[in-house]
Structure 1
Amino acid sequence: MNRYTLHETFVVHQYSFDKWEAEPHNHNYFEIIFVEKGSGYHTINGIRFRYRKNDIFLLAPEDTHHFEIEKHSGFTHFKFTELLFSSKVNLPDRKYWLQRIEQLLHHPNIIPGDVISHEDDRSIIWDIHNVVMEEFKNEKIYYQEIISNAISTILSIIVRNISDKYSSHNRNVSINDSRIDQILGHIRQNVYDNDLTKISYMANKFNMSQSSISSYFKKATGESIHQYVTKYKMKLVEYRLQNTEFTIAEIAYQLGYTDESHLTKTFKKYFSMSPKQYRKDLAVNK
């Protein structure tokens, strides 16, 4: 087994097996598994999939998995440890890693199995995977920045493929349904930037008037655009309170709130307590 680390925040393991000895198990954080060679079955949360060379799997927190190896297999695991969420670690582009992982975590449409639906994207990801491995092994100047940018790109491509895979999963969607999927996807991908989730911006992007996109969104989702964006942000706030060491002020800044008091006021409406009290209760109940 080979092991490589980037500040222990991002850990790479390489394994080669004739037989998978480990019991079904789960992990606390995200993991990307690259199948370097071999074939067999990969079971995720009780669902069994055949795997082959060049498949790519994503494991989310609390997912349970194990392999059944038919032909000698090699795997590379990209693991994201809890230090990714620690404000004490000065990691290049950590903010973008966190944003991509949150998009995966809160994307309601994750479908188990090989996560890549476009073969050209698969080729790109494997090329980037090879770059990451070479940079780890050689540790040339700027290798940390190169690895960080590479991982952010891999996560972005996976997010795109999961979104596309879900959109094509339901073959009976109408044109109107496809448009609401596009609008929802735009919001999820750009929720960190207030300007890009304004009604005026989205109306222009989707060739609709502001009144038309507002009424269309309300009819399709039962919520206003503002309500949806706010609720989605509250999910992100809750996740960061649970899994990071960011202060309330830092979280407010990251999610585009004018100040901590504005975030606290909004959070109370959804959780009936302040973010500080929410985090305090988490610590008590651990």
Structure 2
Amino acid sequence: MVQRFYITKDLDVIEFEAVSEWGYPRHKHLFFELTIVLKGKGQHLLNDNIVDYQSGDVFFLTPKDEHEFIISEATTFGIIKFTEQLFLEKSSFSTSRYWRKNLETVIFHSNIIAESIVRYESDKIQINGLYQLIKHEINSSMLYNRYVLSELFGALMVVLSRNLKSSLETSSLELVSDEEKIENILTYIRQNVLNKEMISIKTIAEAFYMSPNYVSLFLKKHIGISVQQYVIQTKIDMAVRLLKQPNLSISGIAEKLGFVDASHFNRLFKKYKGVNPSEFKKQHS
């Protein structure tokens, strides 16, 4: 049985055929999953909905979704699994406001769409082509492999976002609970943490149709810390990953993450992690 429930890389691809049974129990994932139906037909049980599927359909699953497939005709699934970190990587190094807005569309709204997310017939060809390229590149060890994968993934997400936007325009969005709203706000902050303008209280309030004063109170009530503290925690978590990369200097990381200077970064990192960045880097080199 193909491993489905865990992910060891921030981007992975699996492909398998289900002849008469899917072979997995109804389940959730700890990551995002794009399932492309390469051939076959049957039913997809997604959360509380049941929809028919056929060749060319594409389903986008978030960690909040629970699903399973009922096979009526031998089906080949192409699956791209990826983590939130990959979204962070794309948004952190992209200057495109359009890209960041499309990220929000994918992150915040996809799980309410039970049926295939592809609305434009021509995009089925685009998505399948990008899937094949990613599948080929992920097994390659050629020069610039990581960069090529990142760009292919970015193109795939923009095509998906185009279709998701079309789906959302024809669907009525359900009211979300406080728990879902706080999760969406925190995800938004993580996605835009390197852009001061995007994570200002005023901008967050506008993005979620709340008053600026209420945003601060709402976060404090639900997570016990301020927006500023959450931003710092998120940057420190990003710093942990960057410090494990041998080619990045501490001052370079401090600048990349928007700290005032290396001294400011050192002080905050030690406060949250108990050791200074140079000691941490030594321990993980």
TM-score bracket for this pair, using the shorter chain length: 0.5 to 0.7
Q: Deviations over 1:253-276 (max 9, x none)?
A: 7776768989xxxxxxxxxxx977
The 1:56/1:233 distance shift into structure 2, 3 A limit, reads farther
Q: Partner residue of 1:95?
A: 89
Aligned twin of 1:10: 11
Tell me what 1:154 maps to. Answer: 156
- Report the CA distance between 1:17 and its aligned residue: 1.0
Post-superposition CA distance 1:204-252 (Å, at most 9, x none) = xxxxxxxxxx9xx69x934259969x979988777788999558x9999
Counterpart code for 2:12: V
Q: 2:118 aligns with which of 116, 119, 141?
A: 116
SS of the residue 1:26 aligns to: coil
Whether 1:221 and 2:209 are equivalent positions in the alignment is yes
Gap runs ≥5 in structure 2: 94-99, 174-188, 220-226, 243-249, 266-270, 275-285
1:71 aligns with 2:73: yes
CA deviation after TM superposition for structure 1 residue 188, in Å: 11
Secondary structure of the 2:170 match is helix
Aligned to 2:48: 46
Paired with 1:159 and 1:191, the residues of 2 have a C-alpha distance of: 21
TM-score normalized by the length of structure 2 = 0.57
Alignment-derived partner of residue 278 in structure 2: none
Q: Which amino acid aligns with 2:154?
A: S
Indicate if the aligned counterparts of 2:41 and 2:71 stay in contact, CA closer than 8 A.
yes
8 Å Cα contact 1:42/1:50 also seen in 2:
yes
Tell me the secondary structure at the aligned position of residue 129 of structure 1: helix
TM-score (norm 1): 0.57
Alpha-carbon distance in 2 for matches of 1:156, 1:235 = 28
1:162 Cα offset (Å) = 2.1
Amino acid paired to 2:128? W
Moved more, 125-134 or 232-241: 232-241
Residues in 1 aligned to 2:149 and 2:212: alpha-carbon distance in whole angstroms: 40
Q: Distance in 2 between matches of 1:235 and 1:108?
A: 23
Pairing 1:160-239 to 2, within 5 Å after superposition: 160-170=162-172, 192-194=194-196, 221-224=209-212
AA at the equivalent of 1:15? F
Question: Partners of 1:32 and 1:141 in 2: how far apart?
Answer: 26
String of CA shifts for 1:122-176, please: whole Å, max 9, x gaps.
33222211212233455444333212210122123323432332133249xxxxx
- Give me the whole-angstrom Cα distance separating, in 1, the residues matched to 2:45 and 2:233: 30
1:145 corresponds to which residue?
147
Stretches of structure 1 lacking an aligned partner (at least 5 in a row) = 86-90, 172-186, 203-213, 263-273, 278-286
The answer (yes or no) to whether the contact 2:105–2:165 under 8 Å persists in 1 is no
* Deviation for aligned residue 1:194: 4.2
Letter in 1 for 2:32: F
For the Cα contact (< 8 Å) 1:40–1:70, is it kept in 2?
yes
Aligned-pair CA distance for 1:73: 0.2
